[in-house]
Amino acid sequence: MTEPVAEQYGDGRAAAHGVGMRLNQYPADSGPSMGSCGGQEDLASSPSEKKAAARAIEEYIEPDTRKSGDWADDDTNAAVKAFAAKNGHGWVTSGALKKAHKTWGEQVQNLMNRLASEKEALRSTNIVLQNTDLGVGAGVRKSSSLDGY
């Protein structure tokens, strides 16, 4: 139910605040339905989808990432040598390239570690949830007041 703010206050404060009415209830919730978790529509949630996602990481994403990470090694090392000091003269670029290449290698390694972690998480999710359910079920069943009868 709505009621005009001017009638509520009667002293012109509604005009000062630029408000013409007040709602006594919240609008209908436009969020996800009760059966939805509100996540992504294409989230892999079945065991077969999780296995397929882990397999894709292992067979395609990890090897391609490793290949892409190694791709610049030879060219960067050649550039570092080309700009290196010769006869006491060299470019500052050589040291900067070497430092940037080291950072690149660390970032590639961090990405590879993250991919491995995600792959293992996808493979172990069902086991963790199943073991938790079994543990809770066993704990609940241990104590029952009806067991004495």
- In residues, how long is the chain? 149
> The domain containing residue 100 runs over which residues?
47-136
Number of H helices, E strands in the chain: 6, 2
Residues 109, 104: Cα–Cα separation, whole Å? 9
- Within 8 A by CB and 6+ apart from 67, the residues are none
Residue range 73-84: mean pLDDT, rounded = 86
Give yes or no for residue 56 having a pLDDT over 90. Answer: yes
Residues 9, 94: Cα–Cα separation, whole Å? 75
- Quote the pTM value: 0.53
For residue 4, being part of any structural domain is answered with no
For residue 77, being part of any structural domain is answered with yes
Residue range 36-51: mean pLDDT, rounded = 66
For residue 78, being part of any structural domain is answered with yes
Can you give the pLDDT at residue 34? 45
For residue 35, being part of any structural domain is answered with no
For residue 37, being part of any structural domain is answered with no
User: Which two three-digit tokens encode residue 20?
Assistant: 């013409």
**pLDDT, tens digit, 9 for 90 and up, residues 100-130:** 999 989 999 999 999 999 999 888 876 656 6
For residue 96, being part of any structural domain is answered with yes
Can you give the pLDDT at residue 99? 92
For residue 66, being part of any structural domain is answered with yes
